[in-house]
Chain A
Amino acid sequence: MTHATIVIGGGLVGMAVANGLADAGHEVVVLDEGDDAFRASIGNAGLAWVQGKGRGAPAYAAWTRLSADLWPEFAESLRAETGIDIEFSKPGGFDLCIGDADAEIRSRKVEALQRQPGGGNGVVMVDRNFVKERVPDIGERVVAASWCPEDGYLNPLLLLRALHRRAADRGVSYRPGVRAERIAPAGGGIRVDARDGTTFVGAAIVIAAGLGNAELCRQVGLNVPVRPVRGQIVVTARQPIFLRHPTSTIRQTAVGSVMFGNSEEEAGFEPVTTGGILARHAERALLEFPRLADAAVVRAWAALRIMTPDGRPVYDRSPTLPNVFVATCHSGVTLAAVHARVLGPALGRGEIPPQCAAFASARFDVPAALGT
């Protein structure tokens, strides 16, 4: 009989949860797909982003804010424990408004966020002068912005590496090249069958398999209809540092590269870049920062990110196998700190954290149950 908790998925969500479980004293085995996995964890731009999350969903706003509050300490502990500096910074971020109409729409959204229970996570509208004092190179057409002092960024590749190293240091067993395909009860535990014929038995399972969650969850009676949303990102040659505050579409890395693009396309399982989207990204980037006209583009990529029907996370427990849990979200970077510090230890106690009650998957069943 094993006491291990099996985490299915070795991306940012799975590894953050695995770290939290290990911190709580659990024996953990991580089953991870091969390098041919879609792996949203290595395709994103690395924003640890608070504004824009949780409008109309106070629980999501609060959960995001909790992660933002935990990030500085968590990033520092990763550095201290693994020697890996994930280049975390929380300087506050802007969502720039191009033209008065854009600013008008944005200010209504910000007001709605501020009015909801729990408030707006410090998001406020600011004028052009406020932005220009902090980011002098903004374009002429930037008239205003929403600003959130909680916004930050980090290097997502280094974060994934640091989570893996920290997990290994804490005795987590990492099994690469194992594509979990079936979950079923087995004696007193739960069995996971992999495509290559191997089988693992655990006392508890956490499904954190990104786009693989829909099928694995279906097997344990959970309706988690995640779908791929394609994001395309452009990277320039390294520039002198000019952008110390990220915007919702652009950030500059510690080594000077500028990353931009925030497209969300319904494109199925096709992680390819397209000229039209990349051109639109470039146009937007030039409106925000005209100096980028002289920057060479060195690469671009597309990644499939995970989207739930309402864009919010799902944390839930199987109704048929009570020791099977699912953890999935769109924002594996932003939420990594709260996943490691709060979610992982709670799952280790066999609990969904109380502040996550709103993230149960039953919310997707309501329209069907009502016949609407």
Chain B
Amino acid sequence: MFRLLSAPEPAAGPVTITVDGAACAGLPGETVASLLLRLGHLAVRTSPASGQARGPYCLMGACYECLVEIDGRPGRQACMTEVAEGMRVRRGVP
């Protein structure tokens, strides 16, 4: 559903991070939300109120729908966090 609009800079090497334990190649400068969407992870958690699936929506820090666990800290906004080498992302953590 989501894809890159342009090829990444040739000089920019991939950033290796793990999503739910699986190694993934992020692009320097992209957000965790961008990576998750490119990987097809439209849902990253469930609503604590309704149990419905939720995923990155506003992509600008306002809606708080894209919360994931990053490096052991729950409730991080994927859309406001840049990927970094060695980062560990977990979905589905309230």
Contact = CB atoms under 8 A, between A and B. Distances in A.
Contacts of A240: 48-49
B49 A237 contact: no
A256 B49 contact: yes
Given A237-B75, A296-B75, A255 B67 contact: no
Contacts of A237: 64, 67, 75
A241 B49 CA distance: 5
Interface in A151-186: none
Give the residue among A240, A255, A256 with the most B Cβ atoms within 10 A.
A255
**Interface residues of A, dominant DSSP:** loop
Nearest to B48: A240
B64 A254 contact: no
Interface in A202-251: 237-241
A240 B49 CA distance: 5
Contacts of A254: 49
A256 B48 contact: yes
Interface size class of A (residues with CB under 8 A): 10 to 19
B66 to A, nearest CB: 12
B40 to A, nearest CB: 24
Contacts of B47: 238, 255-256
Contacts of A239: 48-49
Interface string B45-88: 00111100000000000001001000000010000000000000
B27 to A, nearest CB: 27
Nearest to B67: A237
A237 B49 CA distance: 11
B91 to A, nearest CB: 16
A142 B29 CA distance: 50
Contacts of B64: 237-238, 298
A114 to B, nearest CB: 36
Contact of B50 (A255, A296, A298): A255
A333 B48 CA distance: 27
A239 B47 CA distance: 8
A296 B73 CA distance: 12
B18 to A, nearest CB: 24
Contacts of B75: 237, 296
Interface of A: 237-241, 254-256, 296, 298
Given A241-B49, A256-B49, 10 more contacts: A237-B64, A238-B47, A238-B64, A239-B48, A239-B49, A240-B48, A241-B48, A254-B49, A256-B50, A296-B75
10 contacts: A237-B67, A238-B47, A238-B48, A238-B49, A241-B48, A241-B49, A254-B49, A255-B49, A255-B50, A256-B50
